[in-house]
Amino acid sequence: MEHNYIYLKGMKTQALILPIIFLFLYGCGKNQKVISPGTPNILLIMTDDQGYGDLGLHGNPFIRTPVLDSLASLSTRIDPFYVCPVCAPTRSSLMTGRYHLRTGVYDTYNGGAMMSTDEVTIAEVLRENGYQTAMIGKWHLGDAYPMRPMDQGFQYYLAHKGGGIGQPGDDFGNFTRPDSSYFNPFLWENGKRVRKEGYCSDIFTDQAMEFIHRHHRESDDPFFLYLAYNAPHTPLQLPAAYEEEYRDLVYDPEDFTTSGINLRQMRDRDMEDARKVYGMVSNIDDNLGRLWNTLRELNIEENTLVVFLTDNGPQQQRYTAGLNGKKGSVLEGGIRVPCFFYWKGSLEKNRIIRYPSAHIDMMPTLLDIAGIQYAGNMDGTSLLPLLRGEKEELEERSLYFGWARGYPQRYTNMAVHRGPYKLVGLTEHGEPDDHLRLFNLEDDPYELNNLSGDQPEIRDALKQEIDSWYEDIIQSPNLLDPPRMILGSVEENPVILGRNDWKGPKATHWSSSDAFGYWDVDVKDSGPYDVRLVYRDPFPHEGKAFIRVGVRQYWITNQDTSISEITIPAVHFDPGEQILEGWYNSRGEIFTPIYIEVFKKDL
């Protein structure tokens, strides 16, 4: 498809680490690699499920994050900065500058984490305007053509599949190692399966450093590197040294000066999870120290904009700097995250912008910084006038948030934020309007005092805004005509259909043996195809394997109970959009595969 672009030129080790970081961040070198003013390298870093309270900067004395804390002190920070309650929606908005529902993304699995290829990503725009683009880590916006990073503007990528390493939608080699999937993981590099040695966050950092070194050697163009760590998302696996560092950690709500009443007493399981999460975050912090040392060694620090944020609040119960709620909630603890912009010599140090901003603003802001005028339709706005200090705030606007399992329901985990006020809907269908909660975040950042009954006129005005936004957003073309995986193209063969992208009520069972789902596909060529159904365990009894695409159905008989996969060969499909299903029927029971591989012969 054609896009309309206009290009305008234009703790233990903290004491040792901090001096090194400050020396690096303030240092400058000779033989500086010069990039034209207005076209900096862009390093966009995002972690997964790291909450607002998972930083020493935000009043947490128990977590070791000296690199991030130092970065924050040298950055222009945006606070409050908002994202979606869960990861795939945040990522789609980050990539497009648009609310996630417009992009076709509405959930984290069950087919809801596929971004339409009609969407124009920041990587596409930057690539068209001279940037070298790379994505490393967690993509979570579709694993098959035409939704892979390489199909959405990234010239290089290394990523896991699905929503997390080892989840049912990820590579089968990781899924079958639930206790060690973060170590020596199977990943996908430019569409090819590879295996990397080491711990996942270390691997992604190594690859980012390698990309920056290679780019420095080979190109005079600026780069855009999107480094999206999958940690500290579950499963909570981490190197032994980091687990040992937090082995004896215990804390209570009264140990924090900024806890409010929203930090409930920690159960033993909560405390154990916090220890592991903190270890995973400290590992990332150490890795970011390595990454920034690379910028300094190559003398490109002054030519590189570094942006750091996280994708949503914490998944587990732990310190949130007093914010109410956690991952999955539109309360502040679920959607308010740290956001730092560091550009040595170009942005003011240790400055905080208080204009409420969000993920939808990232693409317009970065394009503005790069001197690129983009004529596409975005919901966000450029924050560059704020970052430069030209303005203290922009025009007042409303920011919208919402997430549910499946498609959104009005007032159910939905919120609008305008000025100091935030209206939160945590109700079910049919409940009265006075169940909506109204907060004044300037006076009550912890969302403790519901003003809905005291200020009904503000409540009703914001309710009308939610109504209008909801009616508009659910008519988004990419929701009405969802993204589909393409079968029978030279761009990807074979195509692997995983459980993250299948659909249906029982698809939400996901890893269960009674899960069942279908895939939305678009058949470009009638075939013939070999279709392979892959299971975790051998078949329990003799039976029949079935595949159905549209109205065409094929089955073969199997009597070998020692195998865990079976291929139905040489089948033909009708071209066009349809659904694909596959299952094994044995003695009246239905067994669904972990994934299905569709291979077009003679391509």
Q: Are 74 and 350 in contact (CB under 8 A)?
A: yes
User: What single DSSP character describes residue 161?
Assistant: S
Note the pLDDT tens digit of each residue in 67-115: 999 999 999 999 999 999 999 999 999 999 999 999 999 999 999 999 9
Query: For the stretch 313-339, what's the b/e string if a residue is b when 16 or more beta carbons lie within 10 angstroms of its beta carbon?
Result: bbbbbbbbbbbbbbbbbbbbbbbbbbb
**Which tokens is 448 given?**
């403790």
In this predicted structure, the answer to whether residue 573 has a pLDDT above a threshold of 60 is: yes
Query: What fold, for 5-29+42-397?
Result: Alkaline Phosphatase, subunit A (3.40.720)
- What is the model's pLDDT at position 31? 33
Cβ-based neighbours of 46, under 8 Å, separated by 6 or more: 91, 94, 226, 227, 228, 229, 308, 309, 310, 311
Instruction: Decide: pTM greater than 0.75.
Output: yes
| Residue the block writes with tokens 């973060």 | 182
Confidence of residue 38 (pLDDT cuts 50, 70, 90): low
Q: Are 284 and 227 in contact (CB under 8 A)?
A: no
Cα–Cα distance for residue pair 169/191, rounded to 1 Å: 16
Cα–Cα distance for residue pair 314/229, rounded to 1 Å: 15
Note the pLDDT tens digit of each residue in 287-327: 999 999 999 999 999 999 999 999 999 999 999 999 999 99
| Residue the block writes with tokens 């920690």 | 266
pLDDT average, residue stretch 428-441: 87
Query: What CATH architecture does domain 399-479 belong to?
Result: 2-Layer Sandwich (3.30)
| Cα-based distances in Å from 361 to 26, 380, 443 | 28, 4, 25
Confidence of residue 462 (pLDDT cuts 50, 70, 90): very high
Angle 177-180-184 (CA atoms, 0-180°, nearest 5)? 95
Note the pLDDT tens digit of each residue in 467-521: 999 999 999 999 999 999 999 999 999 999 999 999 999 998 888 878 999 999 9
Cα radius of gyration (the chain): 24
Strands 223-228 and 132-138: parallel
Q: At 363, which amino acid appears?
A: M
Angle 150-162-244 (CA atoms, 0-180°, nearest 5)? 115
Note the pLDDT tens digit of each residue in 9-23: 223 333 334 433 433
- What is the model's pLDDT at position 252? 86
Cα–Cα distance for residue pair 450/433, rounded to 1 Å: 13
- What is the model's pLDDT at position 501? 96
Note the pLDDT tens digit of each residue in 113-129: 999 999 999 999 999 99
Confidence of residue 35 (pLDDT cuts 50, 70, 90): very low
**Which tokens is 195 given?**
């295996």
Note the pLDDT tens digit of each residue in 371-409: 999 989 999 999 999 999 999 899 999 999 999 999 999
What is the overall mean pLDDT for the chain? 92
Q: Are 279 and 247 in contact (CB under 8 A)?
A: no
- What is the model's pLDDT at position 23? 37
pLDDT average, residue stretch 446-467: 96
Note the pLDDT tens digit of each residue in 207-262: 999 999 999 999 999 999 999 999 999 999 999 999 999 999 999 888 888 877 77
- What is the model's pLDDT at position 602? 82
DSSP conformation letters of 377-423? --SS---HHHHTTS-S-----EEEEE--SSS--TTEEEEEEETTEEE
- What is the model's pLDDT at position 263? 82
| Cα-based distances in Å from 126 to 158, 229, 363, 403 | 19, 22, 10, 29
Q: Percent of the chain at pLDDT above 70?
A: 93
Q: Are 65 and 56 in contact (CB under 8 A)?
A: yes
Q: Which residues pair with 44 in a beta bridge?
A: 226, 307
- What is the model's pLDDT at position 17? 40
Q: Which option is the CATH number for 484-600: 2.40.50.140, 2.60.120.260, 1.10.3720.10, 3.40.50.150?
A: 2.60.120.260
Q: Are 306 and 71 in contact (CB under 8 A)?
A: yes
CA 420 from centre of chain? 28
In this predicted structure, the answer to whether residue 8 has a pLDDT above a threshold of 80 is: no
- What is the model's pLDDT at position 261? 76
| Cα-based distances in Å from 179 to 182, 238, 575 | 8, 11, 42
In this predicted structure, the answer to whether residue 1 has a pLDDT above a threshold of 70 is: no
DSSP conformation letters of 130-141? T-EEEEEEE--S
Write down the domain spans for the chain: 5-29+42-397, 399-479, 484-600
Among 469, 575, 593, CA closest to 524: 575
In this predicted structure, the answer to whether residue 280 has a pLDDT above a threshold of 60 is: yes
Note the pLDDT tens digit of each residue in 317-330: 999 999 999 999 99
- What is the model's pLDDT at position 13? 38
